[in-house]
Amino acid sequence: MSTKMKVIDLFCGAGGFSCGFQQAGFDIVFGIDWEVKSCETFAFNFPNAEVCCADVMTYKNYPQADVVIGGPPCKEYSIGNNKRTFDDKEVARFFYLLRGLKPKYWIMENVVGVKAVLDRNIHYRILSSHHYGGATRRKRLFAMSHKLDLEPKQGKVVRDVINVDSPGFRQPYKSQEYRNINIDEPLITLTEARISNECYVLPNGRSLGISEMAMLQGFPDNFIFVGGRSHAQQMIGKSVCPNVAKTIAEAIKQKEGVRKK
């Protein structure tokens, strides 16, 4: 019987959060999301996990787990959304489910603006992927059940992760819509919108490929996205950076080790 800590991933998306926990030695047992291609991607990359394509609130048969992770939809608090209504019902759903699941540890990822609706007793950290071994400046809030000792890691720049001189293509959008990539710096935050990703161009004039977006986001090079380019870009743009998730998972293991001594 496995002695690994078991993980449930709510609003799992493609599985960036789970990817980091799996890399740290956790057992991913369950993922749930309403988006079909995300569930298919999660199922492909975590074949030993149960995957359910459904609303997290209507599903009833959650397994037991030591850790619950999740990134509720965050567009209502994203600065990139000009039509924000600041509706926090998805975040509230996450905390409602925790009361029934009763995990030993839980971690919620979201945009920084969600800190405005968190209970003052909830511990949270604002973490940049670049500070934990990543090649993007993506910055997100992580609310946690426990204070964790998160060990910073040397960040990377674009040229450390991808072959910046390989051939490719560039979409014929208007020139003012392009965002040039500085290959000697970490990438700016990728978004889930197709046009935003394809307008980021390298010095040789080509836009990023799907695998490059994924690796810059922190995914390993053997992670597979199911579906077309648009679906893949949306999944990558919404994903938790696996390198940050792995750092959090390692901190939980360290805390458990200290607890058992």
DSSP-derived secondary structure for 94-133: HHHHHHHH--SEEEEEE-GGGGGGS-TTSEEEEEEGGGBT
Residue 76: predicted pLDDT:
47
Mean pLDDT by 10 residues, the chain (261 residues): 87 97 98 97 98 94 97 65 58 93 97 88 96 97 96 96 88 65 93 63 88 96 93 92 98 84 53
pTM of the model: 0.91
Q: Which CATH class is domain 6-155+241-260?
A: alpha beta
Residue 84: predicted pLDDT:
47
Domain ranges of the chain: 6-155+241-260, 158-235
Return d(Cα 51, Cα 61) in angstroms, integer. Answer: 12
- How many other C-beta atoms are found inside a 10 Å radius of the C-beta of residue 182? 13
